[in-house]
Amino acid sequence: MATPLFAAIQAGNLGQVQALLQAGTECEGRNEEDMTPLMLAANLGHQKIVEALIEHGADVNAKNTQGWTALMKAIYNYGLDRGFPGIVSILVAAGSEIETEISYGTRPLMLAAGYGQAEVIELLLAAGANVLARNEGGLTARTMAEYKDYVQVINQLYEAELRTNDHFSGACSSKGAAGASVIRFTQNPRR
């Protein structure tokens, strides 16, 4: 059942959305697809509407039955073949959980990597998303990007992995090792 609020969001009518919210319309209802108004606005890329809904108390961490949040809906819209970095930024700033898992242990960073969303990935990494996290199949965000040959994203995630302290746990390194010595090789002069 489409309510006037969902219809206004679908149409991208900010004025109508604001009027409905000012009149006391609840912003936590669900549509036929189990989306909240915030999820729908985020998925359609309506940034000003997202801001208005958050301002009126929309729950940025509300989940649908599959566990998807507004943040995940903003990461990529399959029908429009794009993500919405500006909305991701707003949702993260408003307290969206960046490590929420959906089916198979997939997290927002993995979702963005699987769709090649470099700008979204940069925002999630800056917010502290765990680049080394694995899903239930042992895949990381970089692995998901590798399956689709998203070269820019693969490089971006690889560099982020290198910046983590525990990425090279157990690797040969003298950094921080007590009593580590540097060995210098010199050429032995011939006699």
CA 89, CA 124: separation in Å to the nearest integer?
8
CA 54, CA 94: separation in Å to the nearest integer?
8
Q: In the predicted model, what is the mean pLDDT of residues 126-152?
A: 96
- Residue, of 64 and 176, whose pLDDT is higher: 64
Residue 101, pLDDT score: 95
Residue 131, pLDDT score: 97
Segment 8-62, tens digit of pLDDT: 999 999 999 999 999 999 988 999 999 999 999 999 999 999 999 999 999 999 9
**pTM for this structure?**
0.84
Residue 69, pLDDT score: 98
Residue 2, pLDDT score: 61
Residue 111, pLDDT score: 97
Cα 187 to its chain centre, rounded Å, is 53
Residue 150, pLDDT score: 96
Residues 24, 33 contacting (CB under 8 angstroms)? no
Segment 178-189, tens digit of pLDDT: 443 333 444 555
Report whether pLDDT(170) > 60: no
The dihedral through the CA atoms of 134, 95, 43, 149 has a sign that is: negative
Q: What contacts 160, CB < 8 A, 6 or more positions away? A: 125, 131
pLDDT over 70 percentage in the chain? 85
CA nearest to 63, candidates 39, 88, 91: 39
Residue found by looking up tokens 């090792």 in the block: 177
Q: Take residue 150 and report the two structure tokens written for it.
A: 């998203």
Residue 177, pLDDT score: 40
Element (H or E) spanning 26, and its range? none
Residue 75, pLDDT score: 98
Residue 166, pLDDT score: 55
Report whether pLDDT(190) > 60: no
Report whether pLDDT(167) > 70: no
Segment 90-131, tens digit of pLDDT: 999 999 999 999 999 999 999 999 999 999 999 999 999 999
